[in-house]
Structure 1
């Protein structure tokens, strides 16, 4: 995997040869299931707005003009569900493990007290350093939703950003997709 600098405002993103394989595989699965990009848009929208993958967004992913990892966990899970791909197959093909609220077994007490429950996560030390170092300039870094999304970040090799500056660059590259 190689990290490339796109521009000062876009930050760093992971480029991997596997990205091409994932894009091709997703397109093949869609076509094998006789789904159009518009139908995928409609079906992912039915799962909820956070899971929606629009036709134009999917087209960009399949053409390679937008990295597959830009989808984020919820949109990836939306595609996985619409395409009928098991979580195990998804991990095998993409190298990305998706943990969604539907994957978590909750007790009845937890269901009553936390209807929007997400699994617990740990903020990596490098991300914590980024929050402390850059949180005043980028206040969204201090929000729970952004911290959760960033904490779950992993590249194809299973690792995520390490230094505070790596985390900031990663955040800047995906901010418009993970901020509310």
Structure 2
């Protein structure tokens, strides 16, 4: 009897991510070879290869290297994001300087002055003028505001003692 003929088909190649294909297209259009892009961006050719194979996210490298890649590909961060669908983690620099991190708006946390502390401010504000400073009041009230009502001094006397112990560190 004859044995069965087994035909082996090569395994299906995994699909490259769309961002990897977009990166490769841009490189081919704007620069040419991987080696040329690597030289222009001052990165290794293997990094370019990893990005184009979908092994390495272009946004996963250092901000400096990513900025150099964008610059070498003549891509703005907005164009990069649109072409690849990836979020840009920072604003790429112009040729004149280093990468600029994003501006994160500062969230102002409301500070409540506990009534016991307000009593100390009213009673001792003339003796200790720094108690009248709103910034100092916020600093002193921090244990209660950020730790919860059970944290920090509880009575006016405890607030006064807390202030006297910490006042040398406040200015």
TM (norm. structure 2) is 0.41
The structure with more helix, counted as a fraction of residues: 1
With CA pairs under 8 Å and 6+ residues apart, which has the higher RCO, 1 or 2?
Answer: 1
TM (norm. structure 1) is 0.40
